[in-house]
C-alpha cells in the first residue's frame, strides 16, 4: 500500500492501481483528489471537507464515489444519486478495493461552549492504516499505521503522546499539521518519538511511503 501525504489532514492511499483519498479539505492541494476512485470524509469542518472542491471532483469523474457521515452526505447527495454513501460507527464497506471499518462518533472537545459535531475514523484493510479525523478514537483492533492528528485547537502534546501509547501502532505519521510551524516540529518529533512508544514519522506534503 502506498501512502502519500497531502497538506494538513488529507492522505492518498494506493493499492492495485486504485486510489482512495481521505479528507481533502480547504488546506489540501487542488489536485488532492485527482484520479481518485473513492473519497472518505471524516466530518464537516472545512479543513477536512471542502464542498466546492468535492462537488467538482464528483462532477469530473462519473464513477467516483464518496463515503461519509450524514452531516456531510446531506450537503451533496442530492446532486449525485447513488454515489454518496452515509456511514456511521460500526459500519463496514469496500471502497476502491479497500476494506474499510468505521470507528467513532464525535469530534474531540474544542471547548465546552462549542457543540460537538459528529466525526468518524476509517480503519483500512483490517488495520493496516487508521485515520481518526478529529478525535482520539482507539479502534478495537491492532493498527499498523496510525495517521496522527499532531496539532489542533482541540489537543495538546500530552494527549497526542498518550493516544499513540493507547493505540500502539507499529508507526505513526503526522497529519493535522498545517498549524504547526517549522520551529515547533523538532519539539514534537522529539517528544512524541521518545515518549509515544512507536516509530514516529513525518512526510512532507507530496512525499510517499510504503506501508
DSSP code string of 83-150: TEEE--TT-EEEETTEEEEEE--BPPPS-TTSPPPB--EEEEGGGTEEE--SS----SS--SEEEEE-
Give the pLDDT confidence of 189-198 residue by residue, as tens digits.
999 999 999 9
**Annotation: CATH topology of 2-210:** Metallo-beta-lactamase; Chain A (3.60.15)
Give the pLDDT confidence of 25-79 residue by residue, as tens digits.
999 999 999 999 999 999 999 999 999 999 999 999 999 999 999 999 999 999 9
- Using the 8-state DSSP alphabet, how is residue 204 labeled? -
Distances (CA, A) of 103 to 72, 89, 96, 118, 158: 17, 5, 19, 12, 23
Q: What are phi and psi of 48, to 5 degrees?
A: -120, -25
Pairing of strands 129-131, 145-149: parallel
- Using the 8-state DSSP alphabet, how is residue 206 labeled? T
pTM of the model: 0.97
CB 38 within 8 A of CB 99: no
Q: Cα–Cα distance between 50 and 98 in angstroms, integer? A: 23
Amino acid 21: pLDDT? 98
SS3 26: coil
Give the pLDDT confidence of 129-158 residue by residue, as tens digits.
999 999 999 999 999 999 999 999 999 999
Under the banding of pLDDT at 50, 70 and 90, the label for residue 175 is very high
Amino acid 166: pLDDT? 98
Amino acid 40: pLDDT? 98
The helix (H) or strand (E) run that includes residue 79 is none
Give the pLDDT confidence of 67-121 residue by residue, as tens digits.
999 999 999 999 999 999 999 999 999 999 999 999 999 999 999 999 999 999 9
Distances (CA, A) of 93 to 11, 17, 108, 160, 164: 19, 19, 25, 28, 26
Residue 106 pairs in a beta bridge with 118
Rounded to the nearest integer, the mean pLDDT of the chain is 97
Domain locations in the chain as residue ranges: 2-210
CB 124 within 8 A of CB 100: yes
The helix (H) or strand (E) run that includes residue 198 is none
First to last CA, the chain: 6
Amino acid at each position: 500500500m502506498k501512502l502519500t501525504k497531502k497538506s494538513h489532514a488529507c492522505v492518498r492511499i494506493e493499492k492495485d492501481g486504485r486510489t482512495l483519498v481521505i479528507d481533502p479539505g480547504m488546506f489540501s492541494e487542488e489536485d488532492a483528489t485527482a484520479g481518485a476512485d473513492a473519497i472518505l470524509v471524516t466530518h464537516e469542518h472545512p479543513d477536512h471537507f471542502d464542498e466546492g472542491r468535492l462537488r467538482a471532483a464528483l462532477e469530473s469523474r462519473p464513477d467516483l464515489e464518496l463515503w461519509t457521515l450524514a452531516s456531510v452526505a446531506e450537503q451533496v447527495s442530492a446532486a449525485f444519486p447513488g454515489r454518496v454513501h452515509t456511514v456511521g460507527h460500526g459500519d463496514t464497506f469496500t471502497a476502491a478495493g479497500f476494506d474499510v471499518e468505521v470507528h467513532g462518533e464525535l469530534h474531540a472537545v474544542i471547548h465546552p461552549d462549542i457543540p460537538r459535531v459528529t466525526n468518524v475514523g476509517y480503519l483500512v484493510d483490517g488495520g493496516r492504516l487508521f485515520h481518526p479525523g478529529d478525535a482520539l478514537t482507539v479502534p478495537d483492533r491492532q493498527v499498523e499505521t496510525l495517521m496522527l492528528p499532531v496539532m489542533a485547537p482541540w489537543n495538546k502534546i500530552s494527549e497526542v503522546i498518550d493516544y499513540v501509547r493507547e493505540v500502539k501502532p507499529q508507526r505513526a505519521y503526522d497529519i493535522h499539521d498545517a498549524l504547526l510551524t517549522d520551529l515547533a516540529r523538532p519539539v514534537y518529533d522529539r517528544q512524541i518519538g521518545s515518549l509515544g512508544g512507536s516509530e514516529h514519522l513525518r512526510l512532507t506534503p507530496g512525499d510517499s511511503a510504503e506501508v
